[in-house]
Structure 1
Amino acid sequence: MGVPVRRFDAVIVGGGGAGLRAALQLSESGLKTAVLSKVFPTRSHTVAAQGGISASLGNVQEDHWEWHMYDTVKGSDWLGDQDAIEYMCRKAPEAVIELEHFGMPFDRLENGKIYQRPFGGHTQHNGKTPVQRACAAADRTGHAMLHTLYQRNVRANTQFFVEWMALDLIRDADGDVVGVTALEMETGEIYIFHAKAVLFATGGAGRIYSASTNAFINTGDGLGMAVRAGLPLEDMEFWQFHPTGVAGAGVLITEGVRGEGGILLNADGERFMERYAPNLKDLAPRDFVSRSMELEVLEGRGCGPHKDYVLLKLDHLGPDIINQRLPGIREIAIKFAGVDPIKDPIPVIPTCHYMMGGIPTNWRGEVVMPKGGDPESRVNGFYAAGECACASVHGANRLGTNSLLDLVVFGKSAGDHMIDYIRGEMPDWKPLPADAAGPSLARIARLDNQTGGEDVAEVRAAMQRTVQSRAGVFRNAANMALGVEEIAAVAERAKFTQIKDKSKVFNTARTEALELDNLIEIAVATLVAADGRKESRGAHAHDDFPHRDDENWMKHSLFFGEGRRMEYKPVHTRPLTVDYIPPKERTF
C-alpha cells in the first residue's frame, strides 16, 4: 500500500505567528491552504512573547520608521540586510494597525491610542535618546497576537492539521519544492502533502542549549528538513542570549520590565549598567546587556550563595504598575523564582533565547541559495518566514520586539508572493518524484528496527551540554574547536539512537527521536559556523578576535550539511529607497 497523498495549493508548516499570518493571506485569496502544527496553533511558541511589537506609531513620543531602521541596523551590528530591514520598518505601522483592526487587544493610552513602552535599543534621532516604540498588550503581547490571528484563520476557513509533524521536504528533479512528508502523531501514519508552494514557519531551535527560554517544541524542524534537502543555513553562529532568564529555571522575564523602569543590580547593590552603557543603561541591546551581566558574575559581583546571577529590581515601580503592566511577570517570579517582585528583586541570568540565523530568504519570503555565483537564486515553490528564516533583518543581534514584527511583516509578504507564484507560475501541481516518501520512511524504519543504541534523551543531553559549554555568551578558538569535534561525535551517536516503545499511536518517544535528527543538524551548524567566524560581532563575542572586522567579515555565513562545509555571501548593504547606513562603533 502506497503512502496517502493530500493535495493543497499551499502547505504551511508551523502554526505560530508567521505561519498564521501567511495562511490568512492565502486563505482569504481563495487558495486551498493547509497548516501543519505539532501543537494546537495557540500553543505555538509565539504565545510566550511578552514585551511588545515595535512600530514607529509615535503615540507617546515623536518617532519615524527611519529611526527604527537605524536602530535595527545598529542592533544587528551591521550584519543585517538593509533592503529587508527597510521593508520591515516601513511596514511596521501598517502591520500593527492591521492587527488592531483584526481585534488584537492592545493596551491603551488615555487618549485611546495604542500604548507604547520603551525597549532596549529603541531610540530617537539615530541613537541619541530612548523612545517608546514597543506596542504592548500588558506582558502577554504574543498571546494576544496568536489568538487574534488564529481566530481570523478560522473565519477564513484555513484547514488545520493539529498534532502533525512534518518530516522531510520533497524536491523534484529540477530542485523545485513540491510538498512535504508528515507524521500524524495520533496514529503514527505517514502522509504526503502535495503542494504548489510550501512555507516553513517552524520557529527557532533554542533546545540545542541546555539553558533556554524556548519551549520544548522548538527543535528547529524546518532547518533540519532544509539541510537534509541540500539547502544551506545562514548565520547559525549568532544566538541571542536574553539578559533576564529566571536563574535556575530559564523562564523568560521580558525586557518590558526594564522598559517600565526595572533596573539590574549586582551584589553591591550597584546599578552596574550605568558603567557599561551610560546613555541607554539597562535598555542597551540584549547582546550588550548579557555580556555586561556575565562580566559582573565573572569579576565576583554576582549574587546568591554561588555568586552566579544578578538581580532585577522592580519593587520601586509600585504594585499598581506591576499588576497593570506586568501581571504575568509577577506570576512567573512567584512560581519559578519564589519571590514576589512587589517586595523583592528577581534573580536573573542570560539565557539562550533567539536564533538570528536560519533558512536564507529575501524580503519576499522566497528561499534563496548560492547558484552559479548568484546568491539570490530562488528555490521555486519554497518560502520561509519567522524565526526559522534569515531575511536577514536581525543580523548578528536582534533588537527586542522586532521578532513579533518579523512574523507578521514577512508572513504577509511571503503569503502575497506565494499567491503570485501559485496563480502566475504554478497553475497546476508539478508531479511528485517516484520515491517522494522514501527518505522519511527510511528514517522511521531505522527507529523501529534499531537495537542496542543509546536512548534519545542521553544523546540529546550530551548535545545540549556541548553547545552550552562551547558556544555560550563568550567564546574562544580553543573551546569552539573542541566543540566542533565533540558535536561531530555526538552526531555519530545520534545515528544509532533507539526507542524502546515501538508502537505507532501517539508515540512521543518516536517524535523526540525525529526531533533529535533536526536538533543535531542545527547544533553542528552552530559550532562549525561559530568556529569559522574570526571576529566579534553582535552575539558572537570571540575572546581571540575581540573586535568587529568589517573588511574581512561583513558577510553572511552559509553552512551546508553535506561535508559540513562553509560558504559566505555579502551583506545586502543597499536599502530599497533610502541611503545606506554606514558602519560605526556600537556604543550606548
Structure 2
Amino acid sequence: MQTHQYDVVIVGAGGAGMRAALEAGQRARTAVITKLYPTRSHTGAAQGGMCAALANVEEDSPEWHTFDTVKGGDFLVDQDAAEIMAKEAIDAVLDLEKMGLPFNRTPDGTIDQRRFGGHTRNHGEAAVRRACYSADRTGHMILQTLYQQCIKHNVDFFSEFYVLDLIFNEVDGERRTAGVVAYDLASGEIHVVRAKSVVFATGGAGKVYKTTSNAHTLTGDGMAIAYRRGVPLEDMEFFQFHPTGLAGLGILLSEAARGEGAILRNCDGERFMERYAPTLKDLAPRDVVARAMANEVREGRGAGPNKDYVLLDLTHLEPAHIDAKLPDITEFARTYLGIEPYTEPVPVFPTAHYAMGGIPTTVETEVLADNERVIPGMFAAGEVACVSVHGANRLGTNSLLDINVFGRRAGIAAAAFAAKAPWVELPESPEADTVALLEGMREREDGERIADIRRALQETMDANAQVFRSEATLKQALADIASLRERYDRASVQDKGRRFNTDLLEAVELGFLLDLAEVIVTGALERKESRGGHFREDYQNRDDVNYMRHTMAYRTENADGGAAVRLDFKPVVVTRYQPMERKF
C-alpha cells in the first residue's frame, strides 16, 4: 500500500473535475484521481453547446435563462442555484474563450449561438439562440482546453486509478473528510490519499440502463461510494432520456441537429411534434420530446420494419451547412447505421442520457449530510452532484454550463476550506474495507459471470423504469434487482490477476449499479406523480401539493445485515417563479 498527501483531491477528470482542479491548483496542492486518462472522460462526448445569455445573435437575458431552467425542470429546480448558474454563465463562456477554446464565430467575429430545446426569449415567446458551440464537438474542446490549463498550473494527475472508498473520521463528534482509497489499475496496488478537501466529480450512472448514450465507464461510482458511507442521494428517480439516440444503439445524435433545423417524423412523414408542443415543436424540452417519440411508436406510427423508432430528417438542409455545423453526428449515422443523412432520414429513439439526481450540495458545492448539515471537507460538482439546478428535467446545454460554473465554485471552495482546516487523522487501516471487497470477489470460485448479471439489470431497467413507468413495472424492477443482488453475492471473476484486472473492477462497478438502480426505482415508486423525466402512467398529472419536494435516499442496515433504502424529503427553494402548467 502507498500513501499520499494533498490539500485538495479531486475524484474525476471530466469537465467538472478539471474545472475544479484548475481553480484549486492555483491556490493549494492539488491532485486529480481518475479512472480514465483525462481527455477520455465522458465530457468529451457532449456535442451541442454550452448556453449563456450573451445576446450575440438575438436579444436575451440571464433572467430568461433562469426562467427556462426552472420551467424546463418542471419547477423542481432550486431557484437560487438556477439564478447563480444563469448569471455566471456569461463569464464561464468568456473564461473558456480566453483559455483558447475555438468557439464557432458569427461573420462579425463574436461567439456564434444556436437554438436548443427549451431555451426561449421573453419567458417563452419564441426559441432563442443561446447555445455557444464548437461545431458538434463542444465537450471535446472543453475537455482539451481544461486539461491544457491544468498541466500549465502543475496539477498532479493519477490516471487509471479507481477511487473505491471515501475516508471519514470523527472530530469532536462530527464526521469529517480525511481522504480517499484508490486502486491502481496498472499494478493492482492500493493507494491511500490523505486530503483536507475532497471533491467528487465522477459523472453519471447511465450504464444502469441497456440503451444509453453513456460510455461503459459511467457506472455511478461517486454516487454509490458516498451512498455506502451514509451520504444521502437526492432526486435519483429523475433520469433523462435523450430523444435522439441512434435506434437500437443509443449512441447520441446531438440536439444541435434539431437546433440547426432537423425535423422528427413518424412513419407517415408527419412532423408529429406539432401535435405535442405547438410552439417549440422539435425544440421542446427533452422529456416532452422523448415521451412524444415513445408514444408515436406505442400507437403504431413508428418507422422501420418493426415500427420501433422514429426518423430524424436532415434531408432538407444544405450538405455544406450539415458539414459545417454537424460533422460528427452525421458521420455517426454513416458509420453505425449505414445511413446517408444528406438523402435519408436517420432512425432514432430515446436513450438514457443524464441523471438529474445525485449527491446533494449547497450552491457552494458543499456536500449535505442531511437536509441542513454539511460534511466538512467534502464537495461535489457536475453530474454526480445535485445542487439542484436541473430539477426534474435538464435543458440541453445546461450540463456543460453546470460543470463549468459549479466546477469552478467547487475548486475555489475546496481550496479555501483546505487553507483554514486542520488535518484530520486517518482511521486505523483505512484501506481494510476496499481490500476485503476486492479480495472477496477475487477469491470466490465458480460463480456466475458478472456480464450476465449486468445485462439482466440493464434489461429490467430498460423494460420497467424508462420513459414510461407504473407501479406494476417499478415493483417488477425492484423484485428483479433483489434477485440480481442475490446472484451478485455469488458471482465471481475469471481474471484472478493483479495487473490491469478490468474484470475485477467491472464486478465492483456492478455492485455500484445495483445500489443505484434500487435507489432510482424506490424513489420512482414513492413519487406518485408525473414530473419532468419521471412519467407515471398511473399518475399522469403533476402533484404540487404532495410532491413539490426533493427526494432524499439514505442507505440503512437491515437486521439480517443487508441494506435497504430509507426515503426522506427536502423542500424546493423558490425565489421568484411560482409553479405553473408547462406549455410549449
Q: Using structure 1 for the length normalisation, give the TM-score.
A: 0.97
Deviation (angstroms), 1:495: 2.2
- 1:394 corresponding residue in structure 2: 390
Query: Is 2:436 the counterpart of 1:442?
Result: yes
SS state at 1:8 partner: strand
CA offset at residue 390 of structure 1?
0.3
Aligned to 1:130: 127
For the residue of structure 2 that corresponds to 1:473, the secondary structure is coil
After alignment, is 559-568 or 535-544 more displaced? 559-568
**1:4 maps to which residue?**
2
Once residues 167 and 331 of structure 1 are traced to their aligned partners in structure 2, the CA distance between those partners, rounded to angstroms, is 37
CA RMSD in angstroms, aligned pairs only: 0.8
Map 1:31-110 → 2, pairs under 5 A: 31-110=28-107
Per the TM alignment, residue 468 of structure 1 is displaced from its structure 2 partner at its CA by 1.1
Work out whether residues 177 and 424 of structure 2, in 8 Å CA contact, stay in contact via their aligned partners in 1: no
What's the counterpart of residue 240 of structure 1? 240
Contact 2:380–2:410 under 8 Å retained in 1? yes
Partner residue, 1:288: 288
Determine whether 1:568 maps to 2:569: yes
Distance (whole Å) between structure 1 residues aligned to residue 141 and residue 495 of structure 2:
38
Q: Distance in 2 between matches of 1:484 and 1:567?
A: 19
- SS of match in other structure, 2:372: strand
CA contact (8 A) 2:7 2:415 kept: no
Residue number among 577, 580, 585 corresponding to 2:581 in the alignment: 585
Q: State the alpha-carbon separation in 2 of the partners of residues 229 and 497 from structure 1.
A: 23
SS in 2 for 1:24: helix
Q: Does 1:384 align with 2:380?
A: yes
Match of 2:391, SS state, is: coil
Q: How far does residue 492 in structure 1 lie from its aligned partner after superposition? A: 2.3
Q: In the comparison of the two structures, how many residue pairs are matched?
A: 574
Q: 2-side partners of 1:420 and 1:500: how far apart?
A: 46
Partners of 2:114 and 2:566 lie apart in 1 by: 43
Quick one: which of 381, 400, 414 aligns to 1:418? 414
Q: Which residue of structure 2 lines up, in the alignment, with residue 577 of structure 1?
A: none
**Which piece of structure 1 moves more, 400-409 or 432-441?**
432-441
C-alpha distance in 1, partners of 2:30/2:515?
29
Letter in 1 for 2:227: V
1:481-560 pair list within 5 angstroms: 481-560=475-554
Using the alignment, how far apart are the partners of 2:176 and 2:369 within structure 1?
13
Shift of 1:489: 1.7
Q: Which residue of 2 aligns with 1:25?
A: 23
- CA distance in 1 between partners of 2:125 and 2:85 (Å): 22
Contact 2:176 2:424 in 1 (8 A): no
Supply the distance in 1 between the matched residues of 2:548 and 2:186 (Cα, whole angstroms): 47
- 1:485 Cα shift? 1.6
Report runs of 4+ in structure 1 exceeding 4 Å deviation. Answer: none
Structure-1 residue corresponding to 2:175: 175
Aligned counterpart, 2:264: 264
Report the more deviating stretch, 133-142 or 447-456: 447-456
- Could you say which residue in structure 1 is the equivalent of 2:559? none
Determine the structure 2 residue equivalent to 1:13: 11
C-alpha distance in 2, partners of 1:430/1:369? 18
**Structure 1 residue 496, shift from structure 2 partner:** 2.4
SS of the counterpart of 1:351? strand
Unpaired runs of 5+ residues, structure 2, are 557-563
Aligned to 1:469: 463
Deviation at 1:519, TM superposition (A): 1.1
Shift of 1:435: 2.7
Task: Decide whether the 8 Å contact of 2:393 with 2:533 is kept in 1.
Answer: yes
- Percent identity reads 50
Report deviation, 1:444. Answer: 1.0
Query: How far apart, in 1, do the equivalents of 2:349 and 2:538 lie?
Result: 24
Structure 2 residue matching 1:316: 3-state secondary structure: coil
Q: Aligned equivalents of 2:442 and 2:119: distance in 1?
A: 51
- In the TM superposition, 1:191-340 aligns within 5 A as 191-340=191-340
The CA deviation at 1:437 is 1.1
8 A contact 2:113–2:130 mirrored in 1: yes
Deviations 1:171-198 (A, max 9, x none): 1123211111000000000110100010
Greater shift in the superposed pair: 456-465 or 94-103: 456-465
Q: TM-score, normalised by structure 2?
A: 0.97
> Could you tell me which residue of structure 1 aligns to residue 144 of structure 2?
147
Preserved CA contact (<8 Å) 1:166 1:183? yes
Determine the C-alpha separation between the residues in 2 that align with 1:492 and 1:190. 28
Distance in 2 (CA, whole Å) between partners of 1:337 and 1:258 is: 19
Decide whether the 8 Å contact of 1:521 with 1:561 is kept in 2. no
Farther-moved stretch of structure 1 (309-318 vs 44-53): 309-318
Q: Deviations over 1:93-148 (max 9, x none)?
A: 01000000010000000010001000000000111111000000000000000000
Instruction: Check the 8 A contact 1:264/1:271 in 2, yes or no.
Output: yes
Q: Kindly indicate whether the alpha-carbon contact (under 8 Å) linking 2:111 and 2:132 is maintained by their aligned counterparts in 1.
A: yes
In structure 2, C-alpha distance between the alignment counterparts of 1:553 and 1:565, rounded to whole Å = 17
Structure 2 residue matching 1:542: 3-state secondary structure: coil
After superposing the two structures, state which structure 1 stretch, 461-470 or 233-242, moved more.
Answer: 461-470
Cα distance per residue 1:2-59 (max 9 Å; x no partner): x321111111110000000000001112x11110111111100000000000000000
Contact 2:555 2:566 in 1 (8 A): yes
**Structure 1: how far apart are the matches of 2:222 and 2:395?**
23
Q: Partners in 2 of 1:485 and 1:248 — Cα distance?
A: 26
Alpha-carbon distance, 1:452 to partner: 3.0
Tell me, yes or no, if the aligned pair for 2:67 and 2:123 is still in contact at 8 Å. yes
- Give the distance between the partners of 1:537 and 1:463, measured in 2 at CA: 25
Q: CA deviation at 1:376?
A: 2.3
1:186 to 2:186 alignment? yes
The alpha-carbon deviation at position 206 of structure 1 amounts to 0.2
Ranges in structure 1 where 5+ consecutive residues have no aligned partner: 575-579
Aligned residue identity for 2:545: E
Alignment check: 8 A CA contact 1:484 1:531 kept: no
Distance 2:142 2:372 in 1: 32
Question: Quick one: which amino acid aligns to residue 191 of structure 2?
Answer: Y
Task: Determine the C-alpha separation between the residues in 1 that align with 2:223 and 2:389.
Answer: 18
Q: 2:359–2:385: 8 Å Cα contact kept in structure 1?
A: yes
- Residue 357 (structure 2) aligns with: 357
Distance 1:565 1:338 in 2: 48
**Residue identity matched to 1:331:** E
Q: Secondary structure at the match of 2:93?
A: helix
SS of structure 2 residue aligned to 1:307: coil
Q: Distance in 1 between matches of 2:482 and 2:103?
A: 47
> Counterpart of 1:511 in 2: which secondary structure?
helix
Equivalent position amino acid for 1:137 in 2:
S
In structure 1, what is the equivalent of residue 561 of structure 2? none
In structure 1, the partner of 2:347 is 347
The answer as to whether partners of 1:77 and 1:396 remain within 8 angstroms in 2 is: yes
